[in-house]
A and B are shown apart, each in its own frame.
Chain A
């Protein structure tokens, strides 16, 4: 039996990869990712120590458990907490002069920050601030108040009994 090598078999076989299905898949993946893509907004949080005394009672000493640290021994505080009153205006917005620390009325949350900072000067860790806000107040003002108090250096923040409108 004779085998003849033809010119055809001797020639180099050309292997072509079919690109169309690959591109199809790639385009589909791309469209999927573009449609499901949502930019992630940066979220942060404030740790809040909730005193076990109801309403942030003035009874002392106030035991404030450490946030996220069960092993830490609770520290005992002998300084009365600073009470921040927030009152609501129409639509649940913070009313003008709606911030008070004791008898001092404050115009804005920036003033609150400066005032708290001046009160706790040098020993912010020893102080606790209790926020007593109008129940009708929008939540954003509470967080902004927490932000302002944190900026003043105070880390122990509590929420007291809600203040009624106009108080």
Chain B
């Protein structure tokens, strides 16, 4: 509106704009996912509509991210599942699981002198990965005393 003898003064109402901004921030804040540490977004999971979301606690899980070339992501480093270093890593994990079970005075069964470990091996393998490598990994884990496994899949038919 023009003021008397002066330049026209336009008042912009900022309140609705700030309202919208805050709503957008609230929306994004609620959707942000802080539990991404075990997810490798480069892995394209196989599609299966019956796969159910996990209800197990994460401290009982060991997540194995396996890419399409059959390499596992071990502490940020890609190691072939058939590599000796990967085997050593799994041996360390099994020893740690056993020590944790003993500390917690957790009763466990022993089959063929192998203690049955409480850790669930969660396999997040790429859909194009060779089954042979995963099968050998499962067998190796079994030999180390792991007997609980879970195969990750997605229900979304994307890409």
Contacts and interface: CB of A to CB of B under 8 A. Distances in A.
B31 A37 contact: yes
Contact of A144 (B46, B111, B139, B154): B46
Interface stretch (A2-10, A97-105, A119-127, A131-139): A131-139
Contacts of A45: 51-54, 122, 150-153
Interface residues of A, number: 50
Contact of B142 (A34, A44, A50, A141): A50
Contacts of B150: 45-48
B21 interface: yes
Contacts, number: 169
Nearest to B126: A139
A40 B158 CA distance: 12
Contact of A52 (B33, B108, B118, B142): B142
B45 interface: yes
B32 interface: yes
Interface string B48-69: 1111111010000000000000
Given A68-B120, A150-B50, A52 B147 contact: yes
B72 to A, nearest CB: 13
A67 B148 contact: yes
Interface of A: 19, 22-23, 26-27, 29-30, 33-34, 36-50, 52, 54, 63, 65, 67-68, 70, 92, 133-144, 146-147, 150-151, 159, 162
3 nearest A-B pairs in the assembled complex, by CB-CB distance: A135-B132, A44-B51, A33-B28
